[in-house]
Amino acid sequence: MVLALARTWSGYRTAVRLGWLVSSNWTSPVPFVIYTIIRPISGALILVVMYNVITGGRGNTRNYLAFLVIGVSFWAFVTEGVSDFAVGILEDRGRFKMLKYAYLAPLRFPVFLVGRASSKLTSAVASVAIVLVVATVGLRLPINPLSVDYPLLAIACLLAFISVMAFSIALSVVLLAGRDAYGYGEIMAQVLYIVSGAIFPISVLPGPLAFFASLSPLVYWLELTRRSILHGRVYEMFPGLSDGEVLTRLALATAGTVLLGYLVYRWADRQARWKGYIDMDAAQ
């Protein structure tokens, strides 16, 4: 038992390191700068200009600007976790031909996947911090690190972390079935982007989509990150709900996501083994 645990732990560590090596390109700060700074900041800039064009940056609309900035910065969790992670798994298969070894290794495949995912999410935290700091200074957002509700933020992020991981692990195994599945991970992240209230309140969405969005844990997570950082000075999607109520919804939605993710994983894993997707050559 202890032995098995130790083996799992060392396997987990290997996978974290592997993920770090592969995704950080074992060389330089260049990829880090690209993925954690340039991309998210450019994305934020697009939104800031759109905001400015429409509102002219008037004071009474600034809580909407804060809404955008916090949403887009925390979104790094999801892009790293969902799209980059799923692509990473496919890269392992296609480019590095090592997925089958990970799969055959004594280390259990899920542990490998969770390890990879953790390394992704670590770099997401860095990205969030950088974008928030830049925005606070550059856009003079009233973010004060001393008045952030850190416990609330931490709990919300932990739950979101769990759902993102469940979602992306299931997704990556499903994507193994796709011949040219590169890009699907990104699409999924994009779809989530729309239905998670990252850059606009979900009430803007057409009716059925808005309902679907209200089932996603990410909506409540983002709402809580905004509240914990800028309580009262940020646009809120659920002004009628207390922090506790939003947190409850987040917990429920996370549980649902994990369950769903597990079922999908089981199914897709069986498919993958059955059809030999693990070592498939994805030549175009």
Partner 1 sequence: MKSSPSEFEIFWRTVLARAYPRVVGLSRNLSWLFFDFAFPLVGTFAMVFVYQGLHAPRQYLGFVVMGGGMLAFWQNVLWTMGTQFSWDRGNGTLELMAVSPTSFEAVLLGMAGGAMIMTTLRAVAIIVLGSLLFKVTYNLGGLPPAIGVFLLTLAALYGLGMLLASLFLYYSREAWHLGDAIQEPVNFLSGLYFPVHALGAYVGGAASLIPVTLGLDAMRQFLLPGTPRFLDPALETVIVALEIPLFAILAVSSLRFMEVRARREGKLISKWS
Partner 2 sequence: MPRTPNPSSDASRLAVETRDLGRVYKTRNETVTALSSVDLKVREGELFGVLGPNGAGKTTLIKILVTLLLPSSGTAKVDGLDVVREFRQLRSRIAIVSGGENAGYGLLRVREQLWMFSQFYGIKSKVAYARIDELLERLGLASVANRQISGLSSGMRQKMNLVRGLMTDPRVLFLDEPTVALDVGAARDLREEVSRWMAEDPTRTVILTTHYMQEADDLCDRIAIVNRGRIVIEGTPQSLKLEVQRDVVVDLQLEPGVPVLDRLREVAGVGAASVREEDGLDRFSLLLADDAVLTNVISAVERSGRRVAGLAKREPTLEDAFVKLVGRSMTEEETQ
Among 49, 133, 137, 252, binds partner 1 (CB under 8 A): 49
**283 contacts partner 2 (rule: CB under 8 A):** yes
Which residues lie closer than 8 Å to 266 by C-beta, 6 or more apart? Answer: none
Task: For the CB of residue 142, give the shortest distance to partner 1 in the complex, in Å.
Answer: 20
| Binding flag, residue 28, partner 2 (CB under 8 A) | no
Pick between residue 47 and residue 114 the one whose CB is nearest to partner 1: 47
In the complex, least distance from residue 12 CB atom to partner 1, rounded to whole angstroms: 26
Q: How many helices (H) and strands (E) does the chain have?
A: 13, 0
The answer to whether residue 100 forms part of the interface with partner 1 (CB under 8 A) is no
Q: Which does 150 bind (CB under 5 to 8 A by kind): partner 2, partner 1, none?
A: none
> Distance from first CA to last CA of the chain, Å, rounded?
45
Both tokens of 39, joined, read 């991309």
* Residue 107: CA count within 13 A, CB half-sphere: 24
**Cα angle 189-218-149, degrees, rounded to a multiple of 5:** 130
Comparing CB distances to partner 1, the nearer of 12 and 235 is: 235
Q: Whose Cβ is closer to partner 1: residue 78's or residue 152's?
A: 78
Segment contacting partner 1 by CB under 8 A, of 100-108, 141-149, 178-186, 250-258 = 178-186
Nearest distance from residue 25's CB to partner 2, in Å?
A: 13
Q: Give me the amino acid identity at 263.
A: L
Cα–Cα separations (whole angstroms), residue 120 to 26, 75, 189, 223, 231: 14, 13, 14, 23, 29
Does residue number 20 form part of the binding site for partner 1 (CB under 8 A)?
Answer: no
- Exposure string for 24-33, b = 16+ CB within 10 A, e = fewer: beeeeeeebe
Alpha carbons 176 and 168: distance in angstroms, whole number: 12
The verdict on 133 binding partner 1 (CB under 8 A) reads no
Candidates 9, 17, 29, 95: give the one binding partner 1 (CB under 8 A). Answer: 95
- Residue 176 in contact with residue 267, Cβ under 8 Å? no
Q: Which residues bind partner 1 (CB under 8 A)?
A: 25, 30-31, 34-35, 38-39, 42-43, 45-47, 49-55, 64, 68, 95-96, 178-181, 183-184, 186-187, 190-191, 193-194, 199-201, 204-205, 283-284
Q: Which residues bind partner 2 (CB under 8 A)?
A: 281, 283-284
